[in-house]
Amino acid sequence: MSVTFTDIEAAGERLDDESVVKRTPVERSTSLGAMVDAEVHLKMEHLQWTGSFKTRGAYNKLSQAVAGGGVEHAVAASAGNHAQGVALAATTLGIDSTIVMPKTAPQTKIDATRGYGATVELHGKDFREAMAHAKELASGGDSTFVHAYDDPDIVAGQGTLGVEMVGDCPDVDTVIVPIGGGGLISGISLAVSELAPDVRIVGVQAEAAATVPESLDKGIPQTLDSVDTIADGIATGGVSELTLGIIEEHVDEVLTVSDDEIAQAILLLLERAKQLVEGAGAAGVAALLSDDLDVAGETVMPLLCGGNLDMPMLQTVLIHAMTDRQQLLNLRVRIDDQPGRMAEISRVIADHDANIRNVRHERAVEDLNVGDAYLVFRLVTSGSSHSRAITAAIEGSGYTVEIVNAR
């Protein structure tokens, strides 16, 4: 299998319907730029129909299959974004679709996939198990299996995004692209290498789902038995020979980022850029802000590739990030268990304009003397400086205070 820039150009001609794939905007972020001493332009593909880039490859694949005749049914496996892309493409082209999703897939992505017209089957604990079941379903003669990344038509369709990125920002020095199975970065790197060969192409994976660095070292695709990351959109646990070969030839470097870094990037994009993205969509910004990437003085374009973040995950990310910043603060204060102690400490907290979310007594603790107790306050503060001031004020009132920020 191979993919050429001519294939990407042909895909672009097929994707000329704005109701299927639209040209997503680019916005400059002065806040991010100031943090990394660069000019930062965000490619906002999370605003695409279905909330991600996946419709590009799916429609390119299925439109050719339908035009060739004999295809009445599309089958795919996905944790969510590819599912929605295939569902929309199939419905638009007038064929049925069945999407196999892991049982752990976010409910919002399951509901959205059904909303685009697909039949959803939940199978397996992860993407790999869902993939195996989907391939079994697609063994019938009238079905076409739409792989999430190991397909030249998929890669070519995703490559149309690279054409847009260069067209949107001709002076770009570095593009940053998240990697799951590698279909997205393969298409983008082929397009960018053709149109702007001097541009540096940086791939980024979530640490807990990273297979590309080892695959590049060993020269063959490596897989993981399991993945566990908040960036479910890039949690494929493997790449293919097709995508690894393109990455090896056209991608300049591949970085990994932790879930903590991804969570901070999600919150930062929400606060500074006013954009809500999922973990996979924030991975590029996480890499941009890491110590492993130097873009000082450059024009750089991180790709926000997906925006399908369900509310439970958003809550988890917000609590995680706010706890790291000490905007959510858990203080354990040792007291002699007498009336009025909670009120006294609460007044100190109120005097420092912090909000008490909840408070509890702990008396059954081994290191406590008879008659002593702990008061555990959960506070909302403005950040670490505010938290230090509150802690110091409580200590100044004669209490022993410990920060116990367990998420």
Q: What class does CATH assign to 5-52+152-321?
A: alpha beta
pLDDT for res 406: 59
Q: Which of 161, 149, 11, 20 is nearest to 90 (CA)?
A: 20
pLDDT at 140 over 80: no
- Tell me the per-residue pLDDT of 279-309, one tens digit each, with 9 for 90 and over: 999 999 999 999 999 999 999 999 999 999 9
Q: Give backbone dihedrals phi and psi of 252, rounded to 5 degrees, phi first.
A: -80, -40
Task: Enter the pTM of the model.
Answer: 0.90
Report the first-to-last Cα separation within the chain, whole angstroms: 47
What is the fold, at CATH topology level, of the domain defined by 326-403?
Alpha-Beta Plaits (3.30.70)
Hey, where are the domains in the chain?
A: 5-52+152-321, 54-145, 326-403
Give the three-state DSSP class for 133: helix
Amino acid at 5: F
CATH for 54-145, among 3.50.50.60, 3.50.50.100, 3.40.50.1100, 3.30.40.230? 3.40.50.1100
- Tell me the per-residue pLDDT of 194-245, one tens digit each, with 9 for 90 and over: 999 999 999 999 999 999 999 999 999 999 988 889 998 898 889 999 999 9
Q: Is there a shared CATH topology between the 5-52+152-321 domain and the 54-145 domain?
A: yes
- Tell me the per-residue pLDDT of 313-337, one tens digit each, with 9 for 90 and over: 899 988 888 888 899 999 999 999 9
Task: State the greatest distance between any 2 C-alpha atoms of the chain, in Å, as a whole number.
Answer: 82
Q: Give backbone dihedrals phi and psi of 339, rounded to 5 degrees, phi first.
A: -55, 140
d(C-alpha 309, C-alpha 266), whole Å: 10
Inter-residue contact 142 to 270 (CB < 8 Å): no
pLDDT at 407 over 80: no
Report the C-alpha dihedral over residues 106, 112, 113, 118, rounded to 10 degrees: 140
pLDDT for res 135: 92
- Which stretches of 100-230 are DSSP H helices? 107-115, 127-137, 152-168, 183-195, 212-218
- Which stretches of 15-53 are DSSP H helices? 30-36
